[in-house]
Structure 1
Amino acid sequence: MTGKKLNVLVLGGTQFVGRHIVEALLAEGHRVAVLTRGRTPDELPQTVERLKGDRDEGAAGLAALEGRTWDACVDVSGYTPRQVRASAEELRDRVGRYVFVSTVSVYAEQGRHPIREDDPLLPEAAEDVTEVTGETYGPLKVTCERIVGEVFGERATILRPQIVAGPYDPTGRYTYWVDRVAAGGDFLAPGDGSDFIQVIDARDLARFTVRVLEEDIPGVFNLAGPRLSWREFLNLAREATGSDAHAVWVDEATLEAQGVGWRELPAWVPAGGEQGGLMDVSSERARAAGLTHTDPLTTARDTRMWSANTPQKLFLTPGREAEVLASTRRG
């Protein structure tokens, strides 16, 4: 570690990943400013400087940054080329390192085992594409990565996280399973327990981001946590929640016949499927650079402590779950 206290700008910063990054920076004594549109709840400490702006408006939306310099910038809210080009060009000569939080969804061959940083990427989306959908999300991030690399060169760091888990998660993908196990009773478990789930604890991502800034580390890094079988994961969720819930394994063919897919069963990706590699992401490069992993049991416990008092997204409804389980028993 350098020991130097940094002045860091975070683009975003009030929600989930950004919030954890801000908290990790503050914990190490760094100064933080966040640039947001001011549309979402803000529970950050008062020591954080709030700036208001909107990159969707291009350079005009970044007036709050004029005349300011920072040691580094962390971009957690760049989803479209228009947004990222505006901030990258505005900050080119006014920040040292630019850390862009991307995604493992940029990879073209998502059935590879394992997926590594040098694997082929999806074709880029055009720079005028602004609609973020399941189809455009990955290609848009590929374009954003290219823009950051072109503008900042060796001063760019690209982080490609797995599914991110932990407290404050608005997506509910990981949280659904911990909460469902906590609720007890028989529950639908996808596959036969031999598929894999792999997530990255948001706090591990945040600590690695701080390390990148403190040590001025360039490059591209996958950020993925321990790879667990679904049977291991659900047993761990039982231990974390003290639940006696019972998993009823329903194979892929039956789920398909019942019309139950990934929208109802978040984070489940069949290991042998076209996207199976997304649950086999190598974080070897990041670990060599200092990434550490929270014990998966701790991630599950802490997520449940937060989610127990926080309304969550509904995926597979209790009624639909009961319907599918009843059909499997009849079969």
Structure 2
Amino acid sequence: MECAPRHRLQLHAGARGGSAGPAGRGGRTHVLILGGTGFIGTHVARTLHGCGHAVSVLSRGGQPAALPDGVEPLTGDREGPDHGVGALRRRTWDACVDLSGYLPRSVRASVEALPDVRRYVYVSAVATYRDPPAGPVTEAFPQRALVPDDAAPRVADLDNRTYGPFKVRCERLVQAAFGPRATVLRPQVVTGPGDPTRRYTYWLARAARPGPMLAPGTGQDHLQVIDVRDVARFTRRVLEEDLGGAFNLAGPRLPWAEFIGLTGAPDPVWIGADRLEAAGLTLSKLPLFRPAGSPLAGLMHVSSDRAQAAGLTLTDPLTTIRDTTPTALRTDHPDALSPQEEAALLRAARDA
């Protein structure tokens, strides 16, 4: 792991009214990760810990965390009675990385509990942008309309209609509270080793099976994701270089023909979007396939130039595919195209 030799973000003296815990020793930055046991959070925690930072992670405690020894676990539910902030009282951290802030009420509670952090990094999403007719989408692109706080559902009830607008409101809360001490990261679809989302991994698992494989469209539509390890490394850079502002995080933009070729699929059969639609197939059955002109297709062209100028490095797509395939092969994909549906579409294409 490549680590910077020095850290610009200096330590606080200690905790308010109590022990500083693992922070305050050895010149390490003490970082609190909210949601540090999930997919992205685990990678961020490992990266920061591996580069010598003291790391605490707050989670509901309901899932085993594959975290290294020395990372401090804290238990708190962002949707609980105290929004999980009980474990944060009488403590200070130099920085906070907020990965589990989906609703304004949860983010507001965390912001109010951590007024003294030198850097608050809020991990948002490109879903905050309005549906663009075309890209590249930069950080200056208009965002989705705000929604009132009293419309906030439970996290479990968020959907494609509400997720982006609530993320926008959460961004604004963090920016209003911390000003130049706030950093907003807007990642593209995140994948990589351990990806549990069953989107990108569907295509890797399908490509590993023998026989003809349905490939959507003509091959000229585009796919764009970002490797979770790139997100983790850039988060570390934000903390160590004390970078403020908003950054899109997006990987290389590939035509689907190139992506399917990199997966090693032995016999792709391209079926156009019009034929798929005529067969009654919804795009939800074809994860991440957004043909030109369909909703959110423009968000497959997100610019990360600003982040790259600040030090974002991107993993080669073939490396992401290679390293994520073991995860894909042990992941169930019940919401994607079933083998029976695929076989029927392949037969219809062959007989046409």
Provide the rounded CA distance (Å) in 1 between the counterparts of 2:288 and 2:252.
14
Partner of 1:293: 314
Provide the rounded CA distance (Å) in 2 between the counterparts of 1:109 and 1:297.
29
Map of 1:52-91 to 2, 5 A cutoff? 52-57=75-80, 59=82, 61-91=84-114
Partner of 1:193: 219
- Structure 1 unaligned segments of length 5 or more: list them: none
* 8 A Cα contact 1:162 1:223, kept in partner: yes
Instruction: Name the aligned partner's letter for residue 258 of structure 1.
Output: A
Partner of 1:45: 68
Partner of 1:109: 131
Using the TM superposition, name which of 154-163 and 127-136 deviates more: 127-136
* 8 A Cα contact 1:24 1:210, kept in partner: yes
**In the alignment, which of 161, 164, 167 is matched to residue 187 of structure 2?**
161
Provide the rounded CA distance (Å) in 2 between the counterparts of 1:47 and 1:156.
27
Are 1:233 and 2:259 matched, yes or no? Answer: yes
- Residue 74 of structure 1 aligns to a residue in which SS? strand
- Residue 13 of structure 1 aligns to a residue in which SS? coil
The 3 A distance-change label for structure 1 pair 211 and 58 is: farther
Using the TM superposition, name which of 188-197 and 313-322 deviates more: 313-322
**In the alignment, which of 295, 298, 317 is matched to residue 277 of structure 1?**
298
Are 1:305 and 2:331 matched, yes or no? Answer: no
What does the per-residue CA deviation read over 1:269-308, in whole Å, with 9 as the maximum and x for residues that have no partner? 1133342211100000000000001111000000013333
Map of 1:210-229 to 2, 5 A cutoff? 210-229=236-255
Provide the rounded CA distance (Å) in 2 between the counterparts of 1:137 and 1:274.
15
- Residue 254 of structure 2 aligns to a residue in which SS? strand
Normalised to the residue count of structure 2, the TM-score between the two structures is 0.89
* 8 A Cα contact 1:58 1:82, kept in partner: no
The 3 A distance-change label for structure 1 pair 60 and 197 is: closer
- Residue 184 of structure 2 aligns to a residue in which SS? strand
- Residue 118 of structure 2 aligns to a residue in which SS? strand
* 8 A Cα contact 1:15 1:168, kept in partner: no
Provide the rounded CA distance (Å) in 2 between the counterparts of 1:302 and 1:247.
22
- CA RMSD for the aligned pairs? 1.4
Provide the rounded CA distance (Å) in 1 between the counterparts of 2:176 and 2:326.
42
Shift of 1:15: 1.5
Instruction: Name the aligned partner's letter for residue 164 of structure 2.
Output: G
**In the alignment, which of 29, 40, 51 is matched to residue 17 of structure 1?**
40
What does the per-residue CA deviation read over 1:89-133, in whole Å, with 9 as the maximum and x for residues that have no partner? 11122x110101100011113323111111111001221312411
Partner of 1:124: 146
Partner of 1:3: 6
Map of 1:127-142 to 2, 5 A cutoff? 127-128=149-150, 129-130=152-153, 131-142=157-168
Same amino acid, percent of matched pairs: 52
* 8 A Cα contact 1:73 1:99, kept in partner: yes
The 3 A distance-change label for structure 1 pair 202 and 220 is: same
- Residue 255 of structure 1 aligns to a residue in which SS? helix
Shift of 1:60: 5.9
Are 1:325 and 2:346 matched, yes or no? Answer: yes
Are 1:98 and 2:127 matched, yes or no? Answer: no
The 3 A distance-change label for structure 1 pair 60 and 224 is: closer
Instruction: Name the aligned partner's letter for residue 137 of structure 1.
Output: Y
* 8 A Cα contact 1:161 1:200, kept in partner: yes
